[in-house]
Structure 1
Amino acid sequence: MAEMGSAQELAECLLAAGDRLVVVDFYSPGCGGCRVLHPKICQIAEKNPDVIFLKVNYEEHPSLCAGLRVHVLPFFRFYRGAAGRVCSFSCTTATINKFRDAMAKHGGVMSDAGPSKGLEDSELLRLASCRDFLFTPPRRSAVFSPFYPCGEREGTPALAP
Protein backbone atom coordinates (compact mmCIF):
# COMPACT_ATOMS: atom_id res chain seq x y z
CA MET A 1 0.00 0.00 0.00
CA ALA A 2 1.43 3.37 -0.98
CA GLU A 3 1.20 6.16 1.60
CA MET A 4 -0.08 9.44 0.17
CA GLY A 5 1.98 12.46 1.19
CA SER A 6 -0.36 15.19 -0.08
CA ALA A 7 -3.67 15.93 -1.73
CA GLN A 8 -1.81 16.54 -4.97
CA GLU A 9 -0.16 13.13 -4.83
CA LEU A 10 -3.55 11.47 -4.27
CA ALA A 11 -5.10 13.30 -7.25
CA GLU A 12 -2.14 12.36 -9.47
CA CYS A 13 -2.34 8.70 -8.44
CA LEU A 14 -6.05 8.54 -9.22
CA LEU A 15 -5.56 10.10 -12.65
CA ALA A 16 -2.57 7.87 -13.46
CA ALA A 17 -4.49 4.70 -12.51
CA GLY A 18 -6.40 4.61 -15.79
CA ASP A 19 -9.23 2.08 -15.66
CA ARG A 20 -7.76 0.16 -12.71
CA LEU A 21 -9.67 0.02 -9.45
CA VAL A 22 -8.13 2.21 -6.74
CA VAL A 23 -8.91 1.64 -3.05
CA VAL A 24 -8.06 4.53 -0.72
CA ASP A 25 -7.77 3.62 2.97
CA PHE A 26 -8.19 6.59 5.32
CA TYR A 27 -6.73 5.66 8.69
CA SER A 28 -5.11 6.96 11.86
CA PRO A 29 -2.22 5.31 13.69
CA GLY A 30 -4.06 6.05 16.95
CA CYS A 31 -7.26 4.31 15.83
CA GLY A 32 -7.61 0.84 17.33
CA GLY A 33 -10.08 -0.24 14.63
CA CYS A 34 -7.65 0.88 11.91
CA ARG A 35 -4.77 -1.07 13.46
CA VAL A 36 -6.86 -4.24 13.76
CA LEU A 37 -8.30 -3.97 10.24
CA HIS A 38 -5.01 -3.11 8.47
CA PRO A 39 -3.62 -6.71 8.27
CA LYS A 40 -6.89 -7.93 6.74
CA ILE A 41 -6.83 -5.16 4.12
CA CYS A 42 -3.19 -6.02 3.34
CA GLN A 43 -4.20 -9.68 2.78
CA ILE A 44 -6.93 -8.58 0.40
CA ALA A 45 -4.44 -6.30 -1.39
CA GLU A 46 -1.99 -9.20 -1.85
CA LYS A 47 -4.76 -11.33 -3.40
CA ASN A 48 -5.71 -8.51 -5.81
CA PRO A 49 -2.50 -7.34 -7.52
CA ASP A 50 -4.51 -5.65 -10.30
CA VAL A 51 -6.03 -3.23 -7.75
CA ILE A 52 -4.12 -0.16 -6.54
CA PHE A 53 -4.26 0.31 -2.78
CA LEU A 54 -3.42 3.74 -1.33
CA LYS A 55 -3.58 5.00 2.23
CA VAL A 56 -4.05 8.46 3.74
CA ASN A 57 -3.07 9.23 7.34
CA TYR A 58 -5.92 11.24 8.88
CA GLU A 59 -3.65 12.78 11.53
CA GLU A 60 -1.08 14.02 9.00
CA HIS A 61 -3.62 15.25 6.42
CA PRO A 62 -6.70 16.58 8.26
CA SER A 63 -7.51 19.18 5.59
CA LEU A 64 -7.37 16.55 2.83
CA CYS A 65 -9.70 14.27 4.82
CA ALA A 66 -12.04 17.16 5.66
CA GLY A 67 -12.06 18.16 1.98
CA LEU A 68 -13.13 14.63 1.04
CA ARG A 69 -15.64 14.59 3.92
CA VAL A 70 -13.97 11.72 5.72
CA HIS A 71 -15.10 12.01 9.36
CA VAL A 72 -15.08 8.43 10.63
CA LEU A 73 -12.26 5.86 10.62
CA PRO A 74 -11.39 3.45 9.18
CA PHE A 75 -12.93 4.73 5.95
CA PHE A 76 -12.56 3.48 2.37
CA ARG A 77 -13.15 5.02 -1.05
CA PHE A 78 -13.16 3.04 -4.29
CA TYR A 79 -12.37 4.87 -7.54
CA ARG A 80 -12.29 3.57 -11.11
CA GLY A 81 -11.41 5.31 -14.37
CA ALA A 82 -14.07 7.42 -16.00
CA ALA A 83 -16.61 6.50 -13.30
CA GLY A 84 -14.62 8.33 -10.62
CA ARG A 85 -15.72 7.39 -7.11
CA VAL A 86 -17.77 4.19 -7.28
CA CYS A 87 -18.38 3.69 -3.53
CA SER A 88 -17.31 4.78 -0.07
CA PHE A 89 -17.95 3.33 3.38
CA SER A 90 -16.57 2.67 6.83
CA CYS A 91 -16.10 -0.84 8.13
CA THR A 92 -14.55 -2.76 11.00
CA THR A 93 -13.26 -6.30 11.44
CA ALA A 94 -16.83 -7.30 12.32
CA THR A 95 -18.11 -5.89 9.02
CA ILE A 96 -15.14 -6.80 6.77
CA ASN A 97 -17.57 -8.53 4.41
CA LYS A 98 -18.71 -5.05 3.36
CA PHE A 99 -15.17 -4.50 2.04
CA ARG A 100 -15.04 -7.93 0.39
CA ASP A 101 -18.43 -7.34 -1.25
CA ALA A 102 -17.25 -4.00 -2.66
CA MET A 103 -14.10 -5.68 -4.00
CA ALA A 104 -16.22 -8.37 -5.68
CA LYS A 105 -18.57 -5.79 -7.17
CA HIS A 106 -15.97 -3.26 -8.37
CA GLY A 107 -12.85 -5.43 -8.73
CA GLY A 108 -11.53 -7.07 -11.84
CA VAL A 109 -10.13 -5.56 -14.98
CA MET A 110 -12.27 -3.29 -17.11
CA SER A 111 -11.36 -2.32 -20.62
CA ASP A 112 -12.20 0.84 -22.53
CA ALA A 113 -13.58 2.65 -19.49
CA GLY A 114 -12.67 6.00 -21.00
CA PRO A 115 -10.32 8.63 -19.63
CA SER A 116 -9.61 8.60 -15.91
CA LYS A 117 -11.80 10.90 -13.92
CA GLY A 118 -9.99 10.65 -10.57
CA LEU A 119 -11.59 12.91 -7.98
CA GLU A 120 -15.00 14.39 -8.63
CA ASP A 121 -15.20 18.12 -9.41
CA SER A 122 -16.76 18.86 -6.01
CA GLU A 123 -13.93 16.98 -4.28
CA LEU A 124 -11.30 18.89 -6.27
CA LEU A 125 -12.90 22.20 -5.30
CA ARG A 126 -12.87 21.27 -1.61
CA LEU A 127 -9.26 20.10 -1.85
CA ALA A 128 -8.22 23.36 -3.49
CA SER A 129 -8.29 24.85 0.01
CA CYS A 130 -5.57 22.41 1.17
CA ARG A 131 -2.25 24.22 1.33
CA ASP A 132 -0.43 21.19 -0.12
CA PHE A 133 -2.70 20.98 -3.18
CA LEU A 134 -0.97 22.56 -6.17
CA PHE A 135 -2.29 20.16 -8.76
CA THR A 136 -0.77 20.00 -12.20
CA PRO A 137 -2.00 17.32 -14.60
CA PRO A 138 0.35 14.31 -14.92
CA ARG A 139 2.36 13.84 -18.10
CA ARG A 140 0.43 12.01 -20.79
CA SER A 141 3.23 9.44 -21.05
CA ALA A 142 2.86 8.37 -17.41
CA VAL A 143 2.41 4.60 -17.21
CA PHE A 144 1.53 2.75 -14.04
CA SER A 145 4.36 0.69 -12.63
CA PRO A 146 4.36 -1.30 -9.39
CA PHE A 147 7.62 0.44 -8.53
CA TYR A 148 6.06 3.89 -9.01
CA PRO A 149 2.56 3.54 -7.56
CA CYS A 150 1.35 6.78 -9.15
CA GLY A 151 2.98 6.43 -12.56
CA GLU A 152 6.54 7.12 -13.57
CA ARG A 153 8.12 10.34 -12.33
CA GLU A 154 11.56 11.76 -12.86
CA GLY A 155 13.66 11.81 -9.70
CA THR A 156 11.15 9.86 -7.63
CA PRO A 157 12.62 6.87 -5.78
CA ALA A 158 10.97 3.51 -6.20
CA LEU A 159 8.29 2.77 -3.59
CA ALA A 160 7.28 -0.68 -2.47
CA PRO A 161 3.66 -1.49 -3.39
Structure 2
Amino acid sequence: MRGQVLGVDTRTGDGIVLGDDGRRYTFRPRDWADRGEPAVGLQVDFETDQSRALSIFPVPGAVPVRPAVAVAHPGGAPVANDRNKYIAALIAFAFGPLGIHRFYLGRTGTGILMLVLSCTIIGLLLSVPWAFVDMIRYLIMSEREFASRYSRITD
Protein backbone atom coordinates (compact mmCIF):
# COMPACT_ATOMS: atom_id res chain seq x y z
CA MET A 1 0.00 0.00 0.00
CA ARG A 2 1.12 3.57 -0.47
CA GLY A 3 0.76 6.44 1.95
CA GLN A 4 2.37 9.48 3.53
CA VAL A 5 4.30 9.88 6.80
CA LEU A 6 2.25 12.15 9.07
CA GLY A 7 4.58 12.39 12.03
CA VAL A 8 7.51 10.94 13.92
CA ASP A 9 7.99 11.08 17.70
CA THR A 10 11.39 12.68 18.42
CA ARG A 11 12.07 10.61 21.51
CA THR A 12 11.01 7.10 20.48
CA GLY A 13 11.16 7.17 16.67
CA ASP A 14 7.59 5.84 16.49
CA GLY A 15 5.43 7.36 13.79
CA ILE A 16 2.17 7.41 11.88
CA VAL A 17 1.52 6.81 8.18
CA LEU A 18 -1.71 7.84 6.46
CA GLY A 19 -2.51 5.09 3.96
CA ASP A 20 -4.17 5.70 0.60
CA ASP A 21 -7.19 3.88 2.08
CA GLY A 22 -7.64 6.80 4.52
CA ARG A 23 -6.59 4.79 7.59
CA ARG A 24 -3.71 5.64 9.91
CA TYR A 25 -1.02 3.06 10.58
CA THR A 26 1.58 3.18 13.34
CA PHE A 27 5.19 2.17 12.91
CA ARG A 28 8.30 1.72 15.02
CA PRO A 29 11.89 2.49 13.98
CA ARG A 30 12.49 -1.20 13.17
CA ASP A 31 9.61 -1.11 10.63
CA TRP A 32 11.48 1.50 8.56
CA ALA A 33 13.24 -0.68 5.96
CA ASP A 34 15.28 2.08 4.29
CA ARG A 35 18.51 3.69 5.48
CA GLY A 36 18.04 6.99 7.22
CA GLU A 37 14.96 8.23 8.99
CA PRO A 38 11.40 8.86 7.85
CA ALA A 39 10.53 12.44 7.01
CA VAL A 40 7.17 14.06 7.63
CA GLY A 41 5.30 14.30 4.33
CA LEU A 42 7.36 11.60 2.59
CA GLN A 43 5.42 9.29 0.25
CA VAL A 44 6.04 5.68 1.27
CA ASP A 45 5.18 2.14 0.25
CA PHE A 46 4.43 -0.32 3.07
CA GLU A 47 2.76 -3.55 4.08
CA THR A 48 -0.01 -3.58 6.68
CA ASP A 49 -0.78 -5.81 9.62
CA GLN A 50 -4.03 -4.61 11.18
CA SER A 51 -3.16 -1.03 12.26
CA ARG A 52 0.63 -1.40 11.83
CA ALA A 53 2.76 -0.32 8.87
CA LEU A 54 5.59 -2.77 8.17
CA SER A 55 8.53 -2.84 5.72
CA ILE A 56 8.25 0.87 4.97
CA PHE A 57 10.18 2.16 1.94
CA PRO A 58 10.14 5.67 0.46
CA VAL A 59 8.53 5.86 -2.98
CA PRO A 60 11.36 6.33 -5.54
CA GLY A 61 11.61 9.97 -6.54
CA ALA A 62 9.30 11.06 -3.73
CA VAL A 63 10.22 14.32 -2.06
CA PRO A 64 8.99 15.11 1.44
CA VAL A 65 6.39 17.84 1.64
CA ARG A 66 8.18 19.15 4.73
CA PRO A 67 11.94 19.45 5.34
CA ALA A 68 13.82 16.14 5.53
CA VAL A 69 14.85 16.72 9.16
CA ALA A 70 11.27 17.28 10.28
CA VAL A 71 10.44 15.86 13.69
CA ALA A 72 7.46 16.14 15.99
CA HIS A 73 7.22 17.74 19.40
CA PRO A 74 5.51 15.67 22.08
CA GLY A 75 2.37 17.71 21.29
CA GLY A 76 2.48 16.44 17.71
CA ALA A 77 3.24 19.66 15.82
CA PRO A 78 6.02 19.04 13.26
CA VAL A 79 9.05 21.31 13.20
CA ALA A 80 12.33 21.45 11.32
CA ASN A 81 15.65 21.73 13.10
CA ASP A 82 17.32 24.92 11.90
CA ARG A 83 19.85 25.18 14.75
CA ASN A 84 23.12 23.28 15.17
CA LYS A 85 24.07 21.98 18.61
CA TYR A 86 27.81 22.27 17.90
CA ILE A 87 27.46 25.94 16.92
CA ALA A 88 25.44 26.55 20.10
CA ALA A 89 28.15 24.83 22.19
CA LEU A 90 30.89 26.88 20.49
CA ILE A 91 29.02 30.13 21.14
CA ALA A 92 28.44 29.07 24.78
CA PHE A 93 32.17 28.38 25.14
CA ALA A 94 33.30 31.65 23.50
CA PHE A 95 30.65 34.09 24.72
CA GLY A 96 28.85 32.08 27.40
CA PRO A 97 28.61 34.61 30.25
CA LEU A 98 27.00 37.10 27.86
CA GLY A 99 24.21 34.63 27.01
CA ILE A 100 24.71 34.92 23.23
CA HIS A 101 24.10 31.17 22.83
CA ARG A 102 20.71 31.62 24.48
CA PHE A 103 19.75 34.27 21.91
CA TYR A 104 20.93 31.92 19.12
CA LEU A 105 18.59 29.23 20.42
CA GLY A 106 15.63 31.60 20.79
CA ARG A 107 15.76 31.75 24.58
CA THR A 108 15.80 35.55 24.79
CA GLY A 109 14.55 35.77 28.38
CA THR A 110 17.45 33.82 29.85
CA GLY A 111 19.81 35.43 27.33
CA ILE A 112 18.91 38.87 28.69
CA LEU A 113 19.26 37.57 32.25
CA MET A 114 22.77 36.24 31.56
CA LEU A 115 23.74 39.48 29.83
CA VAL A 116 22.58 41.55 32.82
CA LEU A 117 24.28 39.18 35.28
CA SER A 118 27.59 39.49 33.44
CA CYS A 119 27.70 43.21 34.27
CA THR A 120 28.71 42.45 37.87
CA ILE A 121 31.42 40.31 39.42
CA ILE A 122 28.89 38.30 41.43
CA GLY A 123 26.78 37.86 38.30
CA LEU A 124 29.82 36.55 36.41
CA LEU A 125 30.34 33.99 39.16
CA LEU A 126 26.86 32.69 38.29
CA SER A 127 26.82 33.05 34.51
CA VAL A 128 30.23 31.44 33.80
CA PRO A 129 29.30 28.03 35.28
CA TRP A 130 25.80 28.34 33.79
CA ALA A 131 27.29 28.79 30.31
CA PHE A 132 29.71 25.90 30.85
CA VAL A 133 26.85 23.58 31.88
CA ASP A 134 24.86 24.70 28.81
CA MET A 135 27.84 23.91 26.56
CA ILE A 136 28.21 20.41 28.01
CA ARG A 137 24.44 19.78 27.75
CA TYR A 138 24.39 20.73 24.06
CA LEU A 139 27.32 18.43 23.31
CA ILE A 140 25.87 15.35 25.01
CA MET A 141 22.26 15.92 23.90
CA SER A 142 20.97 13.74 21.04
CA GLU A 143 20.15 15.41 17.72
CA ARG A 144 16.47 14.56 18.12
CA GLU A 145 16.23 16.02 21.61
CA PHE A 146 18.12 19.15 20.53
CA ALA A 147 15.73 19.58 17.58
CA SER A 148 12.64 19.19 19.73
CA ARG A 149 13.90 21.66 22.35
CA TYR A 150 15.57 24.37 20.30
CA SER A 151 14.10 24.45 16.81
CA ARG A 152 12.79 27.86 15.80
CA ILE A 153 10.85 26.93 12.64
CA THR A 154 7.21 26.11 13.28
CA ASP A 155 4.48 25.15 10.83
After TM superposition, the score normalised by the length of structure 1 is 0.25
Query: Rg: which structure is higher?
Result: 2
The two structures have a TM-score, normalised by structure 2, of: 0.26
The structure that is strand-richer by fraction is: 2
